[in-house]
Structure 1
């Protein structure tokens, strides 16, 4: 007994990849079924995208993080195998693609006739319907056992089943009489272009398949090839949508980056504007001091003691000026040129203040004007006793017994690899740590070509490669190749130092977040950086490597002496 075409059709047993009846059907976690070889080949070829998307359902595009373990759906396999047997027993045989006419289809026997070889017993058919409803509840009408029998008997009584459509299987060529009238015609044989030659990638008629031009080629049904290509177009369209989505996401990311860059530029312009304002304020103070100095010079040269004594109390008093020690410009936003200009103007202001003081002293020896202490002298009041901590020293560093001197040797010392020790950067920290107050110390750097001096947080990374910048807990001044001074920011801020210092003074105000560096002999400020110290900070020392003896001089912590 053959299967009713209105109940079970070939489309319900067709793999959506190869468009053939299932061969060893398997089901993905999303519920869709495919031939085992088809879905495995699809995934092996990278079907569905890259990365986590490499395992996708070809139909619904659901992604699986891991390749699903597929098992043959044995119930569906049994149904498809029985369907193939029934289809083969009900279809006329074909001679291939050589255009021979199939024999006439024999009419189906009526119900009263005895069963023929190849007919399916009614009980098996009812069981197949029940199983197929469980596997694909939406692909066919639902029947009870009695309804299935009635439906089948009604179909048989209405004259039997229609024969299968011509050319429903690949590589089969039917009679020209069966060709639909609406097919485009072959320009050579005037027959319908119902086949497709995959070898030559062109549509052909049944007569073309018999010619030497196409004989032996891969000939398939044009309609089936059209369905396959349409499914491929659908997959390609989904791939294109994924590509478009990825690029739209990247476009949005780049647009956000542009907005961030513009915000940084605005912050940079604001910092530069502030630095320019500081320059103008410094210039105004310098001009006022110069004017005061000129007036004092004229008064000192006056021979009229009456006018001198009358004007002296007014002109000999130093003007009120701003304390510039706490003023700084963040190097993270300002350019190095502006920072150097501000520092240069501050040095110029100090020089003018010194000249003004000397003029006042010459003007009235009997009544000397109180002389302001130089900045270096004021910070010396906060001198701290600093000693080096050998437990933090790099294995190549040698520490003096009193903990006041360090230099780099050519070999590693036999020291324990404790967590506090630096193992890659040749540096050492001091025993003393500061979290509040003001502190000052001086280091002798004479004879060295390279060094690093400053402070570091107690919690800094001490193993492996180290990023030295304020953001990573390091605030220090560097010298390289005798002349290149820089404060280690990211990127480094280059500094101009007029006279090469042999002694460096380091001043730290933990409460204000200031770290300043001075040329002690020249009584000049080299650089000031403002930040916030969230952790205890320790003095930081690095003599750098010896450079084949050129930089073998040690770093020595010196006693702080008040300079008059």
Structure 2
């Protein structure tokens, strides 16, 4: 389409065949005007010859006359239209990447304002004017500019996709609605659009909510990383401090050991040197006397020998060395005593270290109460749900799914599926007990193997002094004294279950590398009464922070 699109209301300057401004306008005998090439092409394929406007039929091909008046008016109009189009184009925006360009613009493409669903063409403001002014074009359906207008045509019937089939969830044309989709629920495109748009609004809201949740999760992860970094820095600083102190202690003990040995060696050397000096002095005196005796024995002077022999017969004063000796010092036990001292020093530092660790895990204390619906019928629970011991006979209780039926076990009401938690249990006065955590799905009605593979992470006491961590295989625990209160700490994500002797501020045992996938329940087994020997209860105790 040319600059004729700039026409305001001058429909008379448009050829009714090409809908463009006249080019070499000619008149037919009936008085209608056309482009010369348009009417010639029309009559080349149309016989008998007729007027495209009024349909008057001519017996012979009419002789065409140039309409000079129309030619002059068209010439003036073209100049005016070109000027107007040039001015209008300068005011419009050039199409940018991602925007729909005008299909009619030659050279620089302006931004399209509308797309015609009939012409399948997108128009800028200038080239859109005929659709806003011409009677025939006003009936065309306009829409916001879109690309690929050909894709809006039915491939099968070459008609506009202006309906929506709800059954097949697809856009169809009028022909499709009476053929392939005849029995389907077909609605106008706008109705389908409104329904889908409403769903999109809901979907968008859901997506925004998902985005927000994920942003919060990102913030949570960043906060976790920052917290982890702070904890790591703290642990490394404490580790450097502890091991530096340990190395200083070891070095100090080693230096003390070396000094002790060197001191003994020095004393031995000094004693030997004193004896040697004294002996050498006596040897010197004896050698001198020996020389005098030898000289006198060679004398031929009778008087001289007799006068001096008495003084030479008397031995010079000397020490009796028979019982004198240098005994090398005994070093047996020196290293052992040094290591024992080191061990005592390290034990003190280890205790301080465990006290600090225990103080940290105690911050994750949870308030637990025993669940009577899980308790074995022989167990007796306190009213506040904090104590449990085994009675002499079983009560008649409902055998619900949660209840442990074969072993004297009870779990807490509270469960945990993430994070960290800590609790303390008094075991004072008992000869047998089990403590730990159990996953939700453990067998509550039959045999239970107390191993992590079967979902239990526990330690136990048997026969007053036999302590074990029930790993696979079980681990014997060598404890200097039996704990009276046991602390249990669980880090779900880390896969860690640790047991502490509260009074000794010592670590009893840790299960590491555990894989938790279910809820975890604190687990208590006071074991049988044993004729009153094991009648003391297990007591869930409030945490008393270590000093």
TM-score if structure 1 supplies the norm length? 0.37
Specify which structure has the higher proportion of helix.
2
Whichever of the two has the greater Rg, that structure is 2
Q: Which has the higher contact order (CA 8 A, sep 6+)?
A: 1
